[in-house]
A and B are shown apart, each in its own frame.
Chain A
Amino acid sequence: MNQALWVLRKDLLIEWRARSRAFALACFALNVLLLFAFAVGPDTAVMGQHASAYLWLALLMTSTLLLSRSMQIETESGALDALVLAPVQAPALYYGKTLANALQLCGLAILALPIVLGLGDVGIEQSAGQLLVVVVLGCFGLAAPGTLYAALTARIPSQQLLMPLLMFPLIVPCLVAAVKATGLVLNGDPFGQLTSWLLFLVCFDVIYLAICGVLFEKVVSE
Chain B
Amino acid sequence: MKWERIVVIVALLMLAWSHYAGLTQDAETDEVYMNLVGRIFYVHVPIAAIGLMVYLVALVTACLALWSGTSKWDAMTEGIIEVGLVMNLLTLVQGSIWGKVTWGTWWDWDPRLTTTAIMFVMFLGILVMREMVEDPDRRMTASAVATIVAAVNVPIVYYSVEWWKEQSIHQGHSDQEGTSAILPWPFRIGMLATVLLCIGLSVMRYRISLAKLKSEREAELPSAPAKLDLEEA
Contacts and interface: CB of A to CB of B under 8 A. Distances in A.
A119 interface: no
Contacts of B138: 155-156, 222
Contact of A212 (B144, B149, B156): B149
A215 interface: yes
Interface string B131-152: 0110001100110111011101
B152 A156 contact: no
Interface size for chain A: under 10, 10 to 19, 20 to 34, or 35 or more residues?
Answer: 20 to 34
B118 A166 contact: no
B93 interface: no
Interface stretch (A33-41, A55-63, A68-76, A169-177): A169-177
B125 A219 contact: no
A166 B152 contact: no
Given A155-B138, A169-B122, A170-B122, A162 B132 contact: yes
Contacts of A145: 149
B137 A215 contact: no
B133 A169 contact: no
Given A162-B132, A208-B152, A211-B152, A152 B125 contact: no
A222 B137 contact: yes
B129 interface: yes
Interface residues of B, number: 26
A186 B11 CA distance: 55
A199 to B, nearest CB: 11
Contacts of B133: 156
B152 A152 contact: no
Q: Interface majority SS on B: helix, strand, loop or mixed?
A: helix
Contacts of A155: 138
A152 B121 contact: no
Interface string B172-193: 0000000000000000000000
B46 to A, nearest CB: 25
Nearest to B156: A173
Nearest to B133: A156
Contacts of A211: 148-149, 152
A156 B138 CA distance: 9
B128 A165 contact: yes
B160 to A, nearest CB: 10
Interface in A144-185: 145, 148-149, 152-153, 155-158, 161-162, 165-166, 169-170, 172-173
Nearest to B129: A162
B128 A170 contact: no
A184 B130 CA distance: 40
Interface of B: 66, 114-115, 118-119, 121-122, 125-126, 128-129, 132-133, 137-138, 141-142, 144-146, 148-150, 152-153, 156
Given A152-B145, A222-B137, 9 more contacts: A148-B145, A156-B142, A162-B125, A162-B129, A172-B118, A173-B115, A211-B148, A215-B66, A219-B145
15 contacts: A148-B145, A149-B146, A152-B141, A152-B142, A155-B138, A156-B129, A157-B132, A166-B146, A169-B119, A211-B148, A211-B149, A212-B149, A215-B148, A218-B144, A219-B142
